[in-house]
Structure 1
Amino acid sequence: MNDHRNMILAIVLSAIILFGWGFVTEHYFPTATAPSTKVVEGKQVALPQPGADPSADAPVAIRSREAVLAETPRVAIQTPRLEGSINLTGARIDDLVLTTYRESLAKDSPPIRLLSPSGTSNAYFAGFGWTAQGVAAPAADTVWQASGNRLTPTTPVTLSWDNGQGQRFEIRFSVDDGYMFTADQKVINTGNGAIAARPYALVSRASASQDPDSWTMHVGPVGVFNGAANYDFGYDDIIDEGDQNFTSRGGWLGFTDKYWLTALVADQGSNVDASFRRGPSGSFQTDFAAAPAIVPAGKAVSYQSRFFAGAKEVQLLEKYTDAGVPRLDKAIDWGWFEWFMKPIFSLLNWLYDVIGNFGLAIIGLTLIVRILMFPIAQKQFRSMAGMRVLQPKMKALQDRYKDDKPKLQQEMLKLYQEEKVNPMAGCLPILIQIPIFYALYKVLMLAVEMRHKPFFLWIKDLSAHDPLTPVNLFGYLPFTPPTFLALGVLPIILGITMWLQFKLNPPPMDPVQKQVFALMPWVFMFIMAPFAVGLIIYWITNNILTIAQQKWLYSRHPGALDQPVAKAETK
């Protein structure tokens, strides 16, 4: 009867974990990126990635992008990482694709489009200009004159406009070989009197990001004000609470997607008024304005700002941070454990540079962790062997003091002390693994370097879940099971290796714990199915190494495998 009760209790606890974890991951811990492939009749088929293109034309597009781009004069943008154009109407950077990233794994997949002009579905652009008192300032419909027809890292372009009242406005655009534009804004006053002009810059996007915002991954408005990163506001906060205004000395602000970022960088020596706001049409805008400048007659005033538009590559963000953009690397929300996660990423990225395959790099990372933990594992083994030897004595104590729990705990503690066994020693390797596991989870979720990186065979994207599942007979049945039930091949292997590992451990004395541990490998098989396959590769490799290490240690201490025989008497 007790065995049946224990089994029922174990099943109930497992179900609570299984379904409760699904709720937790949905709201707090996104499991993986959107699947990039699907297995159909045993073959890989690339899936479209609508979330990868925040400005993609939709069936309900206002007008096609091609038509809108053809309506205005433009200056081409061409760099090793970027292609697009500057709109001379309004001096907007509103046409930009990332040439080194593709929307999907399909061979003919187009590059990621980051910016798109006003008038198209999900328009997304940056603009630069002035407000002025008493004189005409350039507006959104102002047509600028360009000094050249192509912007490259070696050929800057200057836009100019004369208001006919004695003032000339200029914007000199330059771009590096990464994702950073520089806008040198200048007002030349040839009029009879002084004028007041205030430079500003803005980024506008027609709708919120399609990437989910969660407790572990911030998506939405982001910035660094007075040296401190701010992740406090999401799109819903702007809708519900209205404009969010800040004053800052220097800093930057913009919008972050999961992998992409647009950020306006103020002159770091000036004070600015910055804001996140909602436009009348429902668009979202972030902007800053510097302090008004008095421009005497015959003089000129300049202001320099920068604009980042591209992928959140870790090393490149760190490079810009070192070059004077305060904490631009904070655009990646590593969280509280950044001090630990970034070294894990750096090691993983270094292994990738050496090996050339991120899956093998993850396996290499696991090997390094296991080597460093080998002394701890030996202590764990000795503790496990000692616990195995003590089981008859522990069982005798449980029988003797089954009605006196405080006395039982006292006698068990005394037994551990006499035999010099620490029952918690086996938990230490697990506790050490938790931050490493979580760091790898964050790397797989946040680092664009992991996006669409293949392993071998059917694993084409280590940041997505395993697409190959026997639930639909590996794609031969014409349906796609929900992620929760789509048990991939690797999650199944994870369950098997976890079961084998548990078989080598001494069984718990408590019958409920024993039943829970018996079910745990299969519960985790379901829990881990939606997670990034790179994370599962790490866990499987760790399990296999643990099994091999235990086998080796048992070969050196064969007596530890012997089942102890209970004595007839105990003290």
Structure 2
Amino acid sequence: MDNRNLLLAVVLSALLILGWETGLRYFYPEAAMTSQQSEQARRAETVAAPAATTVAGNLGGDGAARKVDLRTSLGGGNRVVIDTPRIAGSINLVGARIDDITLKNYRETVKKNSGPVRLFAPEGTPGQYFAEFGFVAGGQRQPSNLLWQADGTRLTPTTPVTLTRTDAAGITYAIRFAIDANYMITASQSVSNAGAGAAVIQPFALIKRTSTTATVDQYISHSGPVGVFGDTLWDPHSYDELAEIGNETPAGAPDWLGFTDQYWLSALVPGDGRGNVKVENAGFRALGGSLFRTDLLYSPVTVPAGATMTQNTRLYAGAKDSRILDSYEDGGISNFGLAISWGWFWFFEKPILWLLRTLNGLVGNFGVAIILLTVVIRGLMFPIAQKGFASMAAMKAVQPRMKEIQERFKDDKQRQQQEIMQLYKDEKVNPLSGCLPMLIQIPVFFALYKVLVLAIEMRHEPFALWIKDLSAPDPAHILNLFGLLDFTVPAGFLAIGPLAVLLGITMWLTFRLNPSAMDPVQKQMFAIMPWILMFVMAPFAAGLLIYWITSNLLTVAQQSYLYSKHPQLRAANEAEKLKAAKG
């Protein structure tokens, strides 16, 4: 019977290991992100983009763009330089487009000579992604190839730039761009009507991008269209889902809307960001192939001859730094901090991030900060662990009486349970208290995992030796001798690194110190569980494995200490192990 149970346990464990990669890609697919992005790009090249449909107010004009080289496009002139402490780039005077933004504080890869992250790129380039500001006059969108005149050559936090043009009817259109020291650009779109009659004007703003450069939409971190409408977060669709739907206009007044990646955000903020501006259309649409767009079209305004009108729109284009996003939310933009996919447990995740930042400020290394965070958490849970061990000791003391009850009422299961519960009550024993520390660790573990995935502070943060990015899996693998052999280990459960091995060993040590289970099948499962977890956890972020390894080591130390305080528990445990070895 025991052999059959052992065989069943081994088969189930093998199925778990073999099926883990599929489940991981479904719930946490960041480990497979690169390959999926490459496949998405390949598919996009083979799909011809159909003619774009026209949205309300004739805000169309999205036929397939001519493919151009990035360097050629940016070197063509007619540009206003953007230069702030955090971003660099330029505004294209053709079309009043912000189509060139790089983030100074973030590198594309962990390599020190890697260039800065490019967020925006001109239309027609492989990574096209840009914002455009313009006007609809008399129900017709003005062409996107019009050349604007600028009153300056550099947009900085202290030097705004105004773009102007005048049409044949004597109407002057102006877009004044101002930028702060972070990632927010304010576009003030104004019209001065010097013509003979009234003009019906609708300012608009849009963001257009390709999804081939997007991160993968996943359970724990949304990538795709996002916004807050009617003070409620809206983020139900991935790019593939939006492509199937065609277009989506969320219900409620728009507070802000745009596109989000794991670490980056582009968003349009109408007015003051509180949904009190009249708009005709605010939504998202698929343009065919891999192209998508979000539109913000304001309601028509009649501008009499000799009159003017102005509409303000802000554009956020930068990193999803929670402190910066929260500061804009505090400044009035409704729920702007929800651009980060904190989820329901934000109240638990944000304090963990704050503590990690604080500890990192003290030690200067996020890996060490994770270790210190683990010490703090285990220290807070130590009183609970003490109670758990005391309960385990009490359980050991009443086991002879439990066996007596089980034997006496073996034919009456209901009476047996009643007598056992009465025994627990009389002896003040709680059989579940030993599980409490583990149950408490589950939300901590999940919250830390989300912080490691979502917090941009973790991106490309090194620890020591070969660990160059705490938010990525362990790059060293046993199968290529930790990089000594010149071949790449396939993604999945075979990619076992030193951290995963340490996790398995430390988990085995914690199981060894636990009281022996009475059930032989449980013993067998406990024996192989550490090694199953070693395979399961290998693709997770290195920072998470460092947390768990440290937690296991602290558990071993804690259990050794508590055994010294409860010698009867250690003696009973050793007796059971000796009996099992003889049997």
Q: Please, what TM-score do these two structures have when normalized by structure 2?
A: 0.88
Rounded Cα–Cα distance in structure 2 between residues aligned with 1:524 and 1:395: 33
CA contact (8 A) 2:37 2:213 kept: no
Shift of 1:370: 1.2
Residue 495 (1) aligns with residue 504 (2)? yes
CA contact (8 A) 1:209 1:220 kept: no
Q: 1:174 to 1:326 in 2, by over 3 A?
A: same
Rounded Cα–Cα distance in structure 2 between residues aligned with 1:350 and 1:198: 47
Shift of 1:247: 5.7
Shift of 1:396: 5.6
CA contact (8 A) 1:49 1:104 kept: no
Tell which deviates more after alignment, 455-464 or 24-33: 24-33
Deviation digits for residues 106-148 of structure 1, max 9, x if unmatched? 12111100010012113111000110118x8742011000000
Rounded Cα–Cα distance in structure 1 between residues aligned with 2:19 and 2:74: 49
What secondary structure is seen at the aligned counterpart in 2 of 1:452?
A: coil
Spell out the pairing of 1:344-423 with structure 2 (5 A cutoff).
344-394=352-402, 405-423=413-431
Deviation digits for residues 168-223 of structure 1, max 9, x if unmatched? 00000011110000000000001111111000000001335431112222110001
Shift of 1:353: 1.9
Corresponding residue of 2:347: 339
User: Which residue of 510, 530, 542 corresponds with 2:551?
Assistant: 542
CA contact (8 A) 1:195 1:296 kept: yes
User: Which residue of 89, 93, 111 corresponds with 1:88?
Assistant: 93
**Counterpart AA for 1:389:** A
Q: 1:34 to 1:102 in 2, by over 3 A?
A: farther
Deviation digits for residues 22-66 of structure 1, max 9, x if unmatched? 33321123365869xxxxxxxxxxxx9989xx9xxx9xx933211
Tell which deviates more after alignment, 25-34 or 394-403: 394-403
User: Which residue of 259, 271, 277 corresponds with 2:278?
Assistant: 271
Corresponding residue of 2:232: 228
Corresponding residue of 2:448: 440
**Counterpart AA for 1:234:** S
Q: 1:7 to 1:314 in 2, by over 3 A?
A: same
CA contact (8 A) 2:198 2:302 kept: yes
Rounded Cα–Cα distance in structure 1 between residues aligned with 2:423 and 2:487: 58
User: Which residue of 530, 538, 541 corresponds with 1:532?
Assistant: 541
Deviation digits for residues 424-462 of structure 1, max 9, x if unmatched? 111111111111100011011111110000111111110
Shift of 1:518: 1.6
Residue 456 (1) aligns with residue 464 (2)? yes
Corresponding residue of 2:437: 429
Q: 1:291 to 1:550 in 2, by over 3 A?
A: same
User: Which residue of 335, 344, 360 corresponds with 1:327?
Assistant: 335
**Counterpart AA for 1:347:** L
CA contact (8 A) 2:503 2:534 kept: yes
Rounded Cα–Cα distance in structure 1 between residues aligned with 2:69 and 2:212: 20
Residue 113 (1) aligns with residue 118 (2)? yes
Corresponding residue of 1:23: 22
Tell which deviates more after alignment, 216-225 or 399-408: 399-408
Residue 301 (1) aligns with residue 328 (2)? no
What secondary structure is seen at the aligned counterpart in 2 of 1:279?
A: strand
CA contact (8 A) 2:390 2:566 kept: no
Q: 1:207 to 1:326 in 2, by over 3 A?
A: same
Corresponding residue of 2:166: 162
Q: 1:388 to 1:280 in 2, by over 3 A?
A: closer
Tell which deviates more after alignment, 227-236 or 552-561: 552-561
Corresponding residue of 1:12: 11
Rounded Cα–Cα distance in structure 2 between residues aligned with 1:155 and 1:548: 60
**Counterpart AA for 2:166:** D
Q: 1:523 to 1:407 in 2, by over 3 A?
A: farther
CA contact (8 A) 2:482 2:497 kept: no
Corresponding residue of 2:206: 202
Q: 1:416 to 1:212 in 2, by over 3 A?
A: same
Spell out the pairing of 1:165-204 with structure 2 (5 A cutoff).
165-204=169-208
Rounded Cα–Cα distance in structure 1 between residues aligned with 2:567 and 2:289: 75
Give 5+ residue unaligned stretches, structure 2: 46-65, 577-583
Higher helix share: 2
Rounded Cα–Cα distance in structure 1 between residues aligned with 2:458 and 2:128: 27
Rounded Cα–Cα distance in structure 1 between residues aligned with 2:296 and 2:566: 69
Residue 291 (1) aligns with residue 299 (2)? yes
Tell which deviates more after alignment, 443-452 or 201-210: 201-210
Q: 1:320 to 1:33 in 2, by over 3 A?
A: farther
Shift of 1:478: 2.9
CA contact (8 A) 2:477 2:483 kept: yes
Tell which deviates more after alignment, 339-348 or 75-84: 339-348
**Counterpart AA for 1:124:** Y
Corresponding residue of 1:40: none
Corresponding residue of 2:154: 150
What secondary structure is seen at the aligned counterpart in 2 of 1:93?
A: strand
**Counterpart AA for 2:224:** G
Rounded Cα–Cα distance in structure 1 between residues aligned with 2:4 and 2:141: 80
Q: 1:121 to 1:31 in 2, by over 3 A?
A: closer
Corresponding residue of 2:53: none
Corresponding residue of 2:104: 99
Give 5+ residue unaligned stretches, structure 1: 36-47, 567-571
**Counterpart AA for 2:210:** A
Report sequence identity in percent. 51
Corresponding residue of 2:255: 251
User: Which residue of 79, 84, 92 corresponds with 1:79?
Assistant: 84
Corresponding residue of 2:128: 123
Rounded Cα–Cα distance in structure 2 between residues aligned with 1:402 and 1:476: 61
Corresponding residue of 2:482: 474
What secondary structure is seen at the aligned counterpart in 1 of 2:211?
A: coil
**Counterpart AA for 2:553:** I
Corresponding residue of 2:49: none
What secondary structure is seen at the aligned counterpart in 2 of 1:373?
A: helix
Shift of 1:408: 4.5
What secondary structure is seen at the aligned counterpart in 1 of 2:249?
A: strand
What secondary structure is seen at the aligned counterpart in 1 of 2:545?
A: helix
Q: 1:418 to 1:247 in 2, by over 3 A?
A: closer
What secondary structure is seen at the aligned counterpart in 1 of 2:368?
A: helix
**Counterpart AA for 2:509:** L
Shift of 1:421: 2.0
Rounded Cα–Cα distance in structure 2 between residues aligned with 1:516 and 1:286: 52
Rounded Cα–Cα distance in structure 1 between residues aligned with 2:234 and 2:29: 21
Q: 1:501 to 1:364 in 2, by over 3 A?
A: same
Rounded Cα–Cα distance in structure 2 between residues aligned with 1:383 and 1:209: 54
Relative contact order higher in (CA < 8 Å, ≥ 6 apart): 1
Rounded Cα–Cα distance in structure 2 between residues aligned with 1:282 and 1:486: 32
Number of residues paired by the alignment? 546
